[in-house]
Structure formats: C-alpha cells, structure tokens
A and B are shown apart, each in its own frame.
Chain A
Amino acid sequence: MDRLVIGGRELKSRLFIGSGKFADESIIGDIVAQTGVEIVTVALRRVSLSGDGDNILRCIPKECVLLPNTSGARTAEEAIRIARLARAAGCGDWVKIEVISDNKYLLPDNNETIKATRVLAEEGFVVLPYMHPDLYAAKELERAGAAAVMPLGAPIGTNRGLKTKEIVRILIEECRVPVIVDAGIGKPSEAAEAMEMGAAACLVNTAIATAGNPLVMARAFSQAVEAGRLAYLAQPGETTEYARASSPLTGFLRS
C-alpha cells in the first residue's frame, strides 16, 4: 500500500493547501469535505491569539492537521519564537518553517531555516521547512531533524510552475525524508508533473485561492495529485528519442 507518513501520522491525501489568500476562509471546510485534504497551513501572524474577532482557526475542520507557518519571520530566531507561540496557543506540534528576509522575491533563506529546524526538531516539533531547492541544504535539513523538505517549484505566488524541476528531481532521489513541492505551482498539470516525478505531496495556495472557482480548482488539484502519484507508482515506460515501430523495417537483418 502506498502510504505517506509524516510525524507519525498517515496521510491519505497528498494535496496540502494554504489558507492565506481566500476571499472567504469558510470555503476551506468545503474544500476539505470534497477533496479529503488533510493538511492546511495557516500563517500564525494572521491568527488572533486572544481569541477575539474572526478567527481563521475556526474555519479549519477538526479532522485536519493544522500546519501553522512562520511567515513574517526574517531570522531563525523569529521563526522559533513564532513556532513556540503557535504551540503554546494550542496549534499542535506541526510547524512549517518559513524564513524570508528578502521582500523583493520572497525567497527562503536556507541557512536560517536550517538553524530554526534544528532547534525546533529538538523541541519535539514536526518540522516541515520551506526551502530553496539545494541538495546540500536539503541533506542538512534532514540531519537537523526535518520531517520532510519543501522545495519551491517557482518563487512563491508566481504560478509559474515547476521551474526548479531538475533540482527537485535530484532532491527526490537523494532525500530520505518526503519531498513536498511548495510554492509556484499554478496549474493542476504542474502538480501532476511533480507527483509523476516522485514528489511525496504538493502544497498549493495561490492557484486555488485566486482561481475563479476555488472549490472546483481544489478538486482539480486533488485529482491531478492523485493521478500523478498513480503514474509514478505505475512506473512509466521509458521514453526514447526515436520511434520504436511495432513492425520494424530492418527486422530482417536480425533473423
């Protein structure tokens, strides 16, 4: 059986969703109900910890794993503090590390991410670091105790697709922890492509939240992720550069 286990939890859905850009967060319940999504990320900076006002946490169905992220953190130290704050506020043990100190392209800072991962894994968090795809950094994150690594497919929010494909492929081959493609994926076909390559899961926010019909788009992504995974498991036939005719013209030479 094809199982994805992260932090001791077995996940049936390999589509993770972000919650940051929806017009109305209450749609998350419908998405979860219709697609079986089990992991939802939430920016802790948007969560009202005093419990007043509209609270996004109320929109996340109980059966989901809440994955608070550290967006807004510019250093390892800030990410660590946000993660601890999330845990103290009852958001559970999972955390997605996002350390971004570049507001122009929003690229993750691998060095700071590794530092934060080391400290938080030590403290018992299930740490999922968002990273710039780089083999050395991925291996270092693994050693630091990351439960998975989350390389970007393209800069966050760009919907440009799997621009980092070659490197992500290497990470998939070399990493022992699951590789989850995060950021940049704009279309279900791109998610399917990442899954066909062997990614363990995909995290999608912008492409779903800003679609004309987010609910239908979430379904499309969920099916694409599933199709891509099936294709990976089915081990696609080899691709060749020349046609292999079923009735070869030069076959007589071999007889």
Chain B
Amino acid sequence: MHSFYEQIEAYEGFDFARFLEGVSLRQVDGVLNKDYLSPHDFLALLSPAAAERLEAMAQKAHRLTRQHFGRVIQLYTPIYLANYCVNRCVYCNFNHRNDIERRQLTTAEIEGEAEAIAATGLRQILLLTGEKPGKDALDYLINAVEIVRNHFTAVGIEVNPMDVAAYCRLAEAGVDSLTIYHETYDRAVYDRLHPAGPKKDYRWRLDAPERGCQAGFRAVNIGALLGLNHWPSEAFFTGLHASYLQNKYLGAEIGIAVPRIKAGPGAYQPESPVFDQDLVQILLAFRLFMPRAGISLSTREPAELRDHLLPLGITRMSAGSVTAVGGHIDENADDGQFRVSDERSVDAVREMLIAKGYQPVHQDWHRLA
C-alpha cells in the first residue's frame, strides 16, 4: 500500500541540521508573507532563524486561528480504562516491566467514571488503555464505548494500533475520533525506545492513523512525543504526516497534538529536552503550515503556560484530567501514566477561558444514531 512511510523514506539521509542552519531571516520573512506553505517553508519555520521571528509568527498564527476557529475552545478529558500493557516503552510508567498495580475498570466502574466526568459538564471524552492485543481487549473496549456514549456526545480512543476491521467495529460502536501518537519518527530512536512488544513494529503504528481514516473516523489526531528526539525533525514529520492524511482523506478532520514528555514516577528523563520557547515555535509553525487543523493541548503542561499558549493556535484543551485508572472515582488511585501539571478543575479552566475572551465548547458533534 502507498503510505506516508514512503515520504519518510524520501528524507533518508536528508541533513536537517544543515538545512536548518542555512535558513536566513530573509527566507523566514518570505515564508511569513505566504498564504500556502510548502513542506520546506514549514521546515524553515522550525529553524533557529525563525526562532528570532517568534512574535511575527505568533501574530499571524493568532490571526489565522481566530479567523478559522473563532473565539471558541473545545474541552475534553481522558478516562484511563486499563493499565495492562505488553510493551516496554522506556519512557512510560505503564511499561510491562514496571512493578505497578495493574487494573482494568469494570463495567460499573466505567459507568461511575463517566458519570463523575459528565457531572462537570464535559461532553467529549477520550478513552485510553495500555496495549493489550487480542479479541478480548477489543470487546472490552467496545463495551466501554457503548457505556460512555450514553454520557458523552463525542467519544475518542487512544489505544494500540489496530487493523481497519477493528477500527470499523469501533466506529460502529460510537467512536468518532482516533488519537495515535507516533512517539518518534526517527527509526533508530524508535527502535531503541521500544525494546520489546508489538509496538516495536514501526510501520504498523505509523500507518494506523491512515487505517483510521479508511475506517471512516470523523477525526484523527496525531503527534510525536516531544522530548524523545531532536524536535525540529519530529515536528516536521508530524506536520508532513498530518498534511499527507489531510490531502488524501479530505473527509477526515486531521488534528495535531504537541505532547511533551513528562518524567513519570519511573523517572525517565527526556533525551532531547524541548524548552517552552521550542514548544511555542513548534505550535506556531504547525498553525502556519496547516491553518485549519485542530491543535490540542493537554494538562501535561502547567496552568500558567497553557494560558499563554492558548492564543497561539490551540483549538482543543483537556481539563480536569486524571491519568490513573479509576482516578475519578477512587481517591487512592496511584500515580497514573504521567503527572498532570495543570490540576485546575473543569470549572476553573472554563472560567479562565471566559476571562480570556473564549467560549468553552463542550459539544461539537452529534452522534447520528
């Protein structure tokens, strides 16, 4: 099958460092004057020279976002259904080798979590699990989807990659969005960070968003886990991937996320730290390259920073997140997948948005039964 993989292969041996160093301020200014950016224009915005034009990029990104999305921000939150996982991703606390308490919510517990979250007013939900292959895991997920869709108007999943048939079954059960991060587009780094388990299969994961588009999910969100590898090339491939999917599957809403790795209780330290200024540059470059793509910002980032990032292109934010399995109904739940930084309640996030002149939107989709 023709896939994004071929585009990545075309960059084999491409000297990112040399290209980025060679970008001049004049070139960046030229890109800022364009309406439609080529992939190399986009890459130029990830250069050190572009870092000197952050304010100009921010002004344009803000204008474009307001124009296309208005003054509204979608709110959503995750439910961690289970933390069983067969993989050994070295950066993740749910890693198979980690000695943590493993559990999977029961039907009653899922119902309880959904009720607790729905009581905060949220109507868009994202279901997460670790990777547990097999039919049982799929049936479990489908059961969870059927439960939560009674409480929420939009149901997303962030789970292990699946084949088109499984995605179709999930879409039928009521899932309308798929989120899947490729973690790192660099094959060598990918291989090193995923020492064992099905996740080792780079290509299977890389093509998952495309299989999601083929299965007809309304929205597909992608991203790289920032901090695993040198960020300009990761951001570049993420943008290229998003634009590949958007061009090929016009009916799908392709969104981008910018998750920055957090040191979990397992104390993984990012190998290639992404500083706040870098994160800003990545966000702005995405917005200028894909003016109509949704951009999500999670509670991995601290409250104050989230408030500042808001006008730079963000269209979706999580709120009231808990990353522990059962964390909404069980106060003694453990540490979760990573520590949440923005611990504000849904109400507090809503108030912040209103104070900043935004309308918090809880519902942006109707399930057509």
A residues sitting closer than 8 Å to B (CB atoms) are 20-25, 44-49, 53-54, 72, 74, 78, 81-82, 85, 101-104, 106, 157-159, 205-206, 209-210
Contacts and interface: CB of A to CB of B under 8 A. Distances in A.
Contacts of A53: 121, 123, 362-363
20 contacts: A20-B70, A22-B72, A23-B358, A45-B364, A45-B365, A45-B366, A46-B364, A48-B153, A53-B123, A72-B364, A72-B365, A74-B251, A101-B250, A103-B246, A103-B251, A104-B246, A104-B250, A157-B67, A159-B67, A209-B71
B368 A85 contact: yes
B71 A103 contact: no
B359 interface: yes
B292 A103 contact: yes
B368 A102 contact: no
B291 to A, nearest CB: 9
Given A46-B364, A53-B363, A103 B253 contact: yes
Contacts of A24: 354, 359
A184 to B, nearest CB: 11
Given A45-B366, A74-B251, 14 more contacts: A23-B71, A23-B354, A44-B366, A46-B361, A82-B366, A101-B251, A103-B251, A103-B254, A104-B247, A104-B292, A157-B67, A206-B67, A206-B70, A209-B70
A22 B70 contact: yes
A45 B292 contact: no
Contact of A21 (B72, B247, B251): B72
Given A45-B365, A53-B121, A103 B252 contact: yes
B117 to A, nearest CB: 13
Contacts of B121: 53
B251 A102 contact: yes
Interface of B: 66-72, 121, 123, 153, 218, 246-247, 250-254, 292, 354, 357-359, 361-366, 368
A23 B250 contact: no
A106 to B, nearest CB: 7
B308 to A, nearest CB: 18
A49 B362 CA distance: 13
Contacts of A158: 67
A44 B368 CA distance: 11
Nearest to B67: A157
Contacts of B254: 103
Contacts of A101: 250-251
B295 to A, nearest CB: 14
A21 B363 contact: no
Contacts of A106: 292
A21 B368 contact: no
Contacts of B72: 20-23
B20 to A, nearest CB: 27
B252 A48 contact: no
A74 B253 CA distance: 11
Contacts of A45: 363-366
Nearest 7 CB-CB pairings of A with B: A21-B70, A23-B71, A102-B250, A101-B251, A23-B357, A81-B368, A210-B66
Q: Of B71, B218, B253, which is in contact with the most chain A CB atoms at under 10 Å from its CB?
A: B71
Contact of B71 (A49, A78, A81, A210): A210
Contacts of B357: 23
Contacts of B218: 72
Nearest to A75: B251
A100 to B, nearest CB: 9
Contacts of A85: 366, 368
Contacts of A72: 218, 364-366
Nearest to A211: B66
A159 B64 CA distance: 11
Q: Of B247, B250, B362, which is in contact with the most chain A CB atoms at under 10 Å from its CB?
A: B250
Contacts of A47: 363
A187 B368 CA distance: 36
A74 B213 CA distance: 14
A98 to B, nearest CB: 14
Q: Of A104, A205, A206, which is in contact with the most chain B CB atoms at under 10 Å from its CB?
A: A104
A48 B359 CA distance: 15
A165 to B, nearest CB: 20
A219 to B, nearest CB: 19
B341 to A, nearest CB: 26
A228 B161 CA distance: 56
Contacts of A22: 70-72, 359
Nearest to B118: A52
B71 A46 contact: no
Contacts of A54: 362
A102 B358 CA distance: 26
Nearest to A24: B359
Contacts of A159: 67
